[in-house]
Amino acid sequence: MFKIFIIFLFISTSLNSQEIWYDKHGNGPPLFLIHGGPILNHRYFTPFLDSLENHFSIYFIDLPGRGESNINDTISMGIKKDAYAIEKLRKKLNLDKINLLGHSFGGYVSLAYLNLHPERVGKMVIVSSPVGITQSIFDSVKTKLKPLFKNVNNKKENIKIIEKINFAKKHSREYLKTWLDMMNEIEHKSYKNKSIRYSNNLKKDWFEIFGTMTLSFKNCSEISQGKELLFIFGKKDLLAFEKYSKRFCDECDNIKIIIFDNSAHIPFVDENEKFIKETTNFILK
Flag whether pLDDT at 90 surpasses 90.
Answer: yes
Out of 29-33, 133-137, 207-211, 268-272, pick the least confident: 133-137
Q: Average pLDDT, stretch 38-51?
A: 89
Contact 100, 231 (CB under 8 A): no
> Is 1 a residue whose pLDDT tops 70?
no
pLDDT (tens digit per residue) in 137-182: 877 777 777 777 666 666 667 677 777 778 887 776 777 777 777 7
- Rounded to the nearest angstrom, the gap between the alpha carbon of residue 37 and the centroid of all alpha carbons in its chain is 7
Q: What is the pLDDT of residue 121?
A: 98
pLDDT of residue 69: 87
- Spell out the domain ranges in the chain: 21-284
**What integer is the mean pLDDT of 183-211?**
81
Give the pLDDT confidence score for residue 3 in this predicted structure.
34
Sort 274 into a burial class: Cβ within 10 Å, 0-12 / 13-18 / 19+.
middle
Looking at 3.30.540.10, 3.40.50.740, 3.40.50.150, 3.40.50.1820, the CATH number of the domain 21-284 comes to 3.40.50.1820
Percentage of the chain modeled with pLDDT above 90: 49
* Contact in structure between 162 and 266 (CB atoms under 8 Å): no
The mean pLDDT value for 226-247 works out to 90
